[in-house]
Amino acid sequence: MSTSSAAEGGGGARAAQLADRLGRLRERVAAAAAAAGRDPGGLTVVVVTKFFPVADVQALAGLGVLDVGESRDQEASAKAAALAAAHPELRWHFVGQLQTNKARSVARYASAVHSVDRVRLARALAAGAAAAGREVDCFVQVDLAAALGGPADPARGGAAGDDVLHVADAVAAAVGLRLAGLMAVAPRGQDPARAFAELAAVAERVRRAHPGAVALSAGMSGDLEAAVAAGATHLRVGSAVLGTRPGAR
């Protein structure tokens, strides 16, 4: 059975497939932590379920997954609503680029937003969190392409240079938001170890102003070992657990 047909069909075969993949991922994360001299208990794996059905998220919850990542508000809000009663323990992480006009909606269900890259977005999220009576963890997204001396990558988003601290200051000052730390994606064609080392250096600068911003969201299915070695606390993993992502619907 192909991954896509399994995702569509759900059922016992899909649940078994997810259990096997999740088990292998957990072994891989534990090995990466051991190699870096770190406690695997300090790492949070966010399973990114974009374009996969609610049934997959439900199966993952049954396997002990608490942290789920999404990158489109319409899809994420629908999944969160569908599973709110059966799985209130789920923590929803918004990991994609976020338009300001979607911030109020995202603040209603997201436990964390990993892609805060401008002051205007921070203010919009704060307004949404206040309206919902919630507190949302925020990661300031860093444009590592720019940090490494290349051109900015608008397709991936992220703040660069002094803007990183400006956004961090805005988040820290906002009622309803908590500055968790930084997030980044390794630039295409770059050594992820070098990229994540640069992220760790940027994080040190931010922590001088905001000592509590200790979280680092970095690493995906293909480069999580390099991220763990550089101090990542949150890993955003999709294909290693769910298989090849189906197309948008």
Q: Find the mean pLDDT for residues 46-53.
A: 97
**Residue 54's Cα: distance from chain center in Å?**
18
Q: Find the mean pLDDT for residues 112-123.
A: 98
- Percent over 90 (pLDDT), the chain: 87
Please, are residues 19 and 64 in contact by the beta-carbon 8 Å criterion?
no
Q: What is the pLDDT of residue 246?
A: 79
Q: Find the mean pLDDT for residues 97-124.
A: 98
Q: What is the pLDDT of residue 5?
A: 38
Q: Which of 72-81, 143-152, 196-205 has the lowest mean pLDDT?
A: 143-152
Measured from the Cβ of residue 244, the count of other Cβ atoms closer than 10 Å reads 10
Measured from the Cβ of residue 229, the count of other Cβ atoms closer than 10 Å reads 20
* Alpha-helical segments (H) within 135-223: 144-147, 163-173, 192-209
- How far apart CA 221 and CA 242 sit, in angstroms, is 11
Helix (H, G, I), strand (E, B) or coil at 105: helix
Q: What are phi and psi of 92, to 5 degrees?
A: -95, 125
- How far apart CA 198 and CA 219 sit, in angstroms, is 13
Alpha carbon distances (Å) from 1 to 4, 90, 106, 185 = 8, 29, 35, 32
Local structure of residue 86 (DSSP, 8 states): T
Q: What is the pLDDT of residue 247?
A: 66
Q: Find the mean pLDDT for residues 11-22.
A: 93
pLDDT at 249 over 60: no
Q: Which helix (H) or strand (E) holds 217?
A: strand 215-217
Give the pLDDT band (50/70/90) at residue 151. confident
With residues binned 3-state (H G I as helix, E B as strand, rest as coil), the percentages for the chain, rounded to 5, are: 50, 15, 35
**Residue 35's Cα: distance from chain center in Å?**
23
Q: Which CATH architecture has domain 3-242?
A: Alpha-Beta Barrel (3.20)
Q: What is the pLDDT of residue 150?
A: 82
Four-residue CA torsion sign, 87, 88, 89, 94: positive
List 141's β-bridge partners, or say none: 183
Local structure of residue 248 (DSSP, 8 states): P
Q: What is the pLDDT of residue 132?
A: 97
- Percent over 70 (pLDDT), the chain: 95
- Taking the CA atoms of the chain, what radius of gyration do you get in angstroms? 17
* Selection from 101, 34, 90 nearest residue 58 by Cα: 90
